[in-house]
Each structure stands twice: as structure tokens, then as C-alpha cells.
């Protein structure tokens, strides 16, 4: 048997180990821990509030892209065990998106609700970011077996198709934020990765409608 044939099987066995999920949760928490330690020790640079807001938002995008990459990697690398960890990644996306919002609301707006509401309707990138967070919330709240049983498999799948809209809104939020500073290099990278991830789904499902259809 070749090394190529052995490797996926070995990786899949690792993904199915009882300690794989706790390890994943710990790895997902590392960026947040690093940010909190940096804030506590004054290591976030000249503008720690801006650093915390920006980094938490970018980690939300990274984990969202990782969540969307699970299905393609499962098929391409023959790693069905990856599916066992997709919901954990999805909950992590919500956690970082919520941290991103709370950091903005507290550090930028002092938790003044009127100022936050005015900012949401004044600045487009904040509006789409808020919409993405609102759409993420029901996905996070139903990312548990009890919720799947309560909703039924088909309804649960239909609800979680919102992840595609959330990804597009997240990218738009990131683009408008970066466009204000004429800094679009990172945006192009994120957009290219998302195009590949969504393009794979469109091709595999036979079109956009097939991608959105619940089977």
C-alpha cells in the first residue's frame, strides 16, 4: 500500500479520536487567548482597541472560511472524519464575530446604544457586519444535536444554508472596511479563497440552485 493511501486513513483515525474535539476547541481559543494576554500586558501596539477589534473580526472570517473548507477537504482528501468537527468550527465563527462586535461596542462606542445604532445606519460596512452577526446567531444556537432533533434534519439543513449569505456579507464588510484605507490586498486573497470554496459547491451540485437545495 502506498504512503498516499495510508496517510488519509491515518489522519481520519486521528480526527475520530475522543481527544480530537477538545484539542480543536483549545486550538480555536488560542487567537482569543493571545489577544486577551496582549491586551492585559499592553502588547497590542499603539492602538490596542483597534487591534482587538480588527483581529477578532479577521479571525471570525478565517474560521468561517475553514468551516466552508470542511466539505471540499473531506471529499478531496478522503477525510470523512472532518465532518465531526464542522459544527465546532461554526460555533467558533460566532464566538469571534460576537467578540468583534462586543469589542467595537465597548472600546469604540463605550456601550452607548444610541451611538451604536446611529453608527450602524450611518456606515454601510457596520450595517452588513451586524446583519452577518444576526444571521449567524440562529446557526450558533442550533449547532447542537438537540436542536437538530427539534427542527428536523431538512429544516436544520435549510437554516444552515444561510452560511453562504453570511460569508458574502462578511467579505463585503471586510472589503468596505479595507477600501476606506485603500488596502485591498488581503481582501483579494479572502475573495479568491471564497470563490474556490463556493465554486466547488456550485460545480459539485450542478449550479447555484443545486447548491442551495436541501436533499
| pLDDT of res. 208 | 76
| pLDDT of res. 180 | 80
Contact 47, 116 (CB under 8 A): no
Angle at 157 between CA 201 and CA 163, to 5 degrees: 55
What's the CA dihedral at 140, 142, 146, 152 to 10 degrees?
-150
What are the distances in angstroms from CA 66 to CA 11, 27, 133, 206? 17, 13, 17, 23
Tens place of pLDDT per residue across the chain (215 aa): 444 444 568 888 999 999 999 999 999 999 999 999 999 999 998 899 999 999 999 999 999 999 999 999 999 888 899 999 999 999 999 999 999 999 999 999 999 999 999 999 999 999 999 999 999 999 999 998 899 899 998 999 999 999 999 999 999 999 999 998 888 999 999 999 999 999 999 988 877 777 777 65
| pLDDT of res. 215 | 58
| pLDDT of res. 1 | 43
| pLDDT of res. 206 | 78
| pLDDT of res. 57 | 97
Q: Within 10 A of 42 (CB to CB), how many other CB atoms are there?
A: 8
| pLDDT of res. 3 | 47
Q: Which residues constitute the domain of residue 193?
A: 3-212
Residues in CB range of 175: below 8 A, 6 or more apart = 125, 184, 187, 191
The domain total for the chain is: 1
Q: Describe the chain by its helix, strand, coil percentages, rounded to 5.
A: 85, 0, 15
Distance (Å, rounded) from C-alpha 68 to C-alpha 163? 8
Amino acid at each position: 500500500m502506498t504512503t498516499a493511501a495510508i496517510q488519509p486513513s491515518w489522519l481520519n483515525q486521528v480526527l475520530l479520536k475522543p481527544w480530537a474535539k477538545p484539542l480543536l476547541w483549545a486550538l480555536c481559543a488560542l487567537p482569543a487567548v493571545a489577544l486577551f494576554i496582549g491586551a492585559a500586558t499592553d502588547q497590542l501596539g499603539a492602538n490596542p482597541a483597534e487591534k482587538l477589534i480588527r483581529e477578532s473580526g479577521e479571525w471570525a472570517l478565517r474560521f468561517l472560511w475553514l468551516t466552508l473548507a470542511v466539505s471540499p477537504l473531506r471529499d478531496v482528501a478522503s477525510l470523512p472524519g472532518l465532518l465531526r468537527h464542522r459544527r465546532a468550527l461554526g460555533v467558533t465563527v460566532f464566538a469571534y464575530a460576537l467578540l468583534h462586535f462586543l469589542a467595537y461596542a465597548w472600546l469604540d462606542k463605550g456601550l452607548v446604544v444610541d451611538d451604536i445604532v446611529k453608527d450602524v445606519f450611518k456606515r454601510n460596512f457596520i450595517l452588513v457586519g451586524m446583519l452577518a452577526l444576526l444571521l449567524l446567531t440562529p446557526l450558533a444556537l442550533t449547532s447542537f444535536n438537540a436542536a437538530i432533533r427539534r427542527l428536523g434534519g431538512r429544516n436544520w439543513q435549510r437554516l444552515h444554508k444561510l452560511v453562504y449569505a453570511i460569508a458574502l456579507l462578511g467579505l463585503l464588510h471586510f472589503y468596505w472596511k479595507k477600501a476606506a484605507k485603500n488596502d485591498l490586498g488581503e481582501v483579494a486573497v479572502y475573495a479568491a479563497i471564497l470563490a474556490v470554496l463556493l465554486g466547488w459547491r456550485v460545480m459539485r451540485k450542478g449550479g447555484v440552485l443545486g447548491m442551495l437545495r436541501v436533499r
